[in-house]
Amino acid sequence: MQITRAMQFVAASKLRRAQDSTLAARPYSELIDEILADLAAVLGADEHPLLSRREGGKRLIVLVTSDRGLAGPLNTNAVRFVSKQIIEHLGDLEMVTVGRKGRDAMRRARVPIIAHFAGFGDRPSFDDILPLARLISDEYEAGTYNQVDIVFTRFVSTLVQRADMIQLLPIRASSDTHGIPGAQFIFEPAPEIVLNELLPRYVGTRLYQAALESTASFFSSQMVAMKNATENADELIDDLTLSYNKARQANITRELIEIASGAQAR
């Protein structure tokens, strides 16, 4: 109980920092998503390979889990979610795993894993995400995959974490082009230069946001799990103490009866 209580307090202290980082990064991630959706609506695949839509090729799923357990059903829910996606959408696919729990589960399920990245720690940074983002961008530009999805655990609240999936590539075009004159943008300097800077940053930002969401979800789920474990241990101690006292009282009563019976026998 002392161990689980200590783990609960540690997770609670780390949760606040992870939650603040997640909420602070959301507006930037959502805005860059909107910008790229608007650009994809007016630009074609000729402008940049990351905007192209393909019929052939494989599907790539990036599964983000944690390296450690003792976090309740967090990792199990993410693994079940991605397993359901694989079963419902049969086809040629490969996976990139982030975190040992997801990697071990996919290995047991014999799902092909092309790359594994160790968890990004308690405080993931954007630099940690860059190798993963570069791998995905390079493979998509090479035509290896026709779709890239991210499966992660979205942080909703301290008590609610939900497994979710978003499509990373190809970028979905926005259906709302209202306010864009002639459905066109004015690029300065040139569209390809702007896209060469913006699209890789978009991929990295979405992956970074998924890592932040998963980190906050992990500490939240671990805090709740350790709190429940502490309460269960406290109840178990009370039950064992009651059982001990009953057994002790029964022994004392038996010994008193034996003493009284011996005295009467004399």
Specify the CATH number for the domain of residue 132.
3.40.1380.10
**What is the pLDDT tens value at each position of the chain, 266 positions in all?**
999 999 999 999 899 889 898 999 889 888 888 888 777 777 766 677 777 777 777 889 999 998 888 888 889 999 999 999 888 877 788 899 998 998 999 999 888 999 998 867 788 888 888 899 999 988 888 888 888 999 999 998 888 899 999 888 888 766 665 555 545 677 777 777 777 788 888 889 999 999 999 999 999 999 999 999 999 999 999 999 999 999 999 999 888 888 888 777 76
Residue 78 CB coordination number (10 Å): 28
* 261 in a structural domain: no
Tokens representing 233? 């241990």
So what's the pLDDT on residue 30? 85
How many helices and strands (H and E) does the chain possess? 5, 5
What pTM value is reported for the model? Answer: 0.81
So what's the pLDDT on residue 258? 82
So what's the pLDDT on residue 229? 92
What are the residues facing 152 on neighbouring strands?
A: 164
* 185 in a structural domain: no
* 39 in a structural domain: yes
* Count of domains for the chain: 1
* 27 in a structural domain: yes
* 253 in a structural domain: no
* 238 in a structural domain: no
- HSE-up of residue 139 (Cα within 13 Å, Cβ side): 23
* 215 in a structural domain: yes
Q: Is 183 left (phi over 0), alpha (psi -120 to 50) or beta?
A: left
Q: Find the domain containing 36 and state its range.
A: 2-176+191-225
Q: Residue 244 — φ and ψ, nearest 5°?
A: -65, -45
* 214 in a structural domain: yes
